[in-house]
Structure 1
Amino acid sequence: MDYEALTLYGVAPAKELYKNERRSITEAVDFSVRFLPYLRRNAETTTLSLRPSSLFPVLASKLTTLGTDTPLITTWHEVWLDYWDEYLGRLAPFGKGVERLTAKMPHHPIAISSVTANRLTEIVPNGIDVKQIETTRPAEDGFDVLYAGRLIEHKNVDLLLEAFDRVAETDPDITLSLIDNGPERDALERQAQTLDLADRVTMLGFLEEYNDAHMRASDISETCRAPAGPM
């Protein structure tokens, strides 16, 4: 499948990303195993965007490219270290070991924050398509406050709902929307229904086609790709 300047390949069947409110390890391992044959046949340059939940395919890619001229470029969004203890419990040593091994193997790492860069090499901000943002028309049915990101416990979207309910009492027209899905969606929907101004909160779910129209229309927006760990 071609998308703008990219060619997209499906290398594994779709599976649930979450199991018991945690990213599925088996899904990541299965993807890694299926990804390797394609990588061996086709990769000349491999670029990967790295989060702790994607350590397994990155580690597999490094093992594949060792001893070759194929550069492996990884964008590190976060490094968990001791947060693995909270995230995986008794399996934390496994996560820590994979993270440490992945970081030490030869590659070209890029960090997007100073905290991550302390453990890696250089600071590079997330890229944005400025032209797309500037030319996108604001959505006609936009919202004053907008959150776009996975609905996961550590992102504290419940606090956003509480804060919005207080602020909304002072403004008769202010509205809020949450974009995307996640394991906390049901709980957040229930919480939203208990708010005094529940009718001003809209949960749009996952948007199949990405654009910045809702952000252009909002006064306050947050694209929450923040780390799950203590950063």
Structure 2
Amino acid sequence: MIHEVDEGLRLLLVDAGIQESGVDLVFDAPTKEWSARRNAPTVSLFLHGIREDAARRRTGTAEEYDDRGMVTGRRTPPRWFELTYLVTAWTNRPQDEHRLLSEVLGCLVRSDVLPARMHTGTLAELGLTVEIEAASPGPDRASTVDVWSALGGGIKASIDLRVWAPLAGERTPAGPPVTEGLVVQAAPGRDGDGTGAGRRLRYDGASDPGGQGFAAERERQLPPGRRRRGSAAR
């Protein structure tokens, strides 16, 4: 999920035209060594914090169906995580950095969600809203100072960006429902007697499965109360 959020943010900035003037979009840590090697205008989105949004945690499972309306698996609810990025601009002059950072800020505050067309992978499959929040007021400014200290460089203008994204739950495959009873057939006896028609066990209305047993293809009936997809309700 994390790399899919990275790709969504990259597409968001590309769509805003940030790269049109030859600006590089990277997700590198802006360390002193990295900045010394930089040779082009650059916008860095450095991910430095990942924590679960426990208030959104849910329990239980949700069923998944195929085109015939049959249950194919069960999936646990997604878990939501808050990703925190340090967004910085790097050029040869502070004035250019501020101009570039202003363009990035304008793009990030234009919407409070990541547009669905920029979702990829599991984010697109889940179809859930991915919230973004840039430069919001909060009590976490000291943590940004700690990040700069850990990177080994001096503090510079930056944007605190938070993204709330879902991590898809675990999927457990499910077999098709049992729609026929169990029939047991005995093997030929030593005296050469043939096999009988079979003896029905436990279930009423079971039929003889034939020579191929239950491996033979047969029309499966839908469970009561469920209709095939695309069919009109009666």
TM > 0.5 between the two?
no
TM-score (structure 1 length as normaliser)? 0.20
Structure 1 or 2: larger helix share? 1
